[in-house]
Each structure stands twice: as C-alpha cells, then as structure tokens.
Amino acid sequence: QVQLVESGGGLVEPGGSLRLSCAVSGNSEQYYSIAWFRQAPGKARKGVASTSNLGSIRNIEETMRGRVTISTDSAKDTVYLQMNNLQPEDTGIYYCGYCAPAMCILKYTYDVHYWGNGTQVTVSS
C-alpha cells in the first residue's frame, strides 16, 4: 500500500513562496509518477504539476508555468513543489497523488491510485 504524506503548507502573504513536500512510501513499482493538485473551497481538484519518479518527465499546468517547479529527491523518496509569487487564488488544500505505471494526467483525477491527506496553503495579507 502506497502512502503519501504532504507537508510544508502554511499562511503566506501575496508574493511569497512555499515549498511543499510529498514523502512516498510503500511503493513497489519501478515506474510511477507523482502529481500535485490544488482544491480550493467548493471547487474540484485541479492539477498543478507532475513528475515521473526519476524526474525525467515533468509537466506544469499552463497557468502555473513560471511560478511553479517540481523536483524529486530519489534518495529520500520525496517530491517537492516550489511555488513562488503566490497569490490569493492559489489558496487551497494541496494534495499529492500517485499514478503507476503511466504519468498522472493533470486534467483528471480518475487515474490517481493513491492520495495523501493534503496540506493547507493560505495566501492572504
């Protein structure tokens, strides 16, 4: 059973930065991907970024490009989401999701096999 644990959320002022972490454990697949999704209050989960487990394939949602980077630390089995110039509309619960063996598709959530419990990001002055 794959387990995902997110951390790094918090309260930040507009223009600030946060780095979220997703620790992966229990994986037995050679190839898998991790994607970050944001869920704003009352809205569906929206894909932000995804990466293959080796970091060779990375996708960033179009509206987030230039403000978000995704990276992996294979030694720690951890995926990071660096978010810069955060704005109030970035507020929400950020979840990481696991897909295998194909890449998670940011437009959908049905292909995500496992979810973490999420970490809250609030952007407010």
Q: How do residues 44-80 score in pLDDT, each as one tens digit?
A: 999 999 999 888 899 999 999 999 999 999 889 999 9
Position 1 confidence tier, pLDDT thresholds 50, 70, 90: very high
DSSP summary character for residue 103: P
DSSP summary character for residue 28: -
C-alpha to C-alpha distances, 11 to 14, 16, 56, 81, nearest whole angstrom: 10, 10, 32, 16
What are the tokens at 42?
Answer: 């009352």
Kindly tell me if the per-residue pLDDT of 99 is higher than 90.
yes
**Cβ(1)–Cβ(59) below 8 Å:** no
What are the tokens at 34?
Answer: 């991790």
Question: Count of CB atoms within 10 A of residue 69's CB?
Answer: 17
The full length of the chain comes to 125
pLDDT in tens, 21-42: 999 999 999 999 999 999 999 9
DSSP summary character for residue 9: -
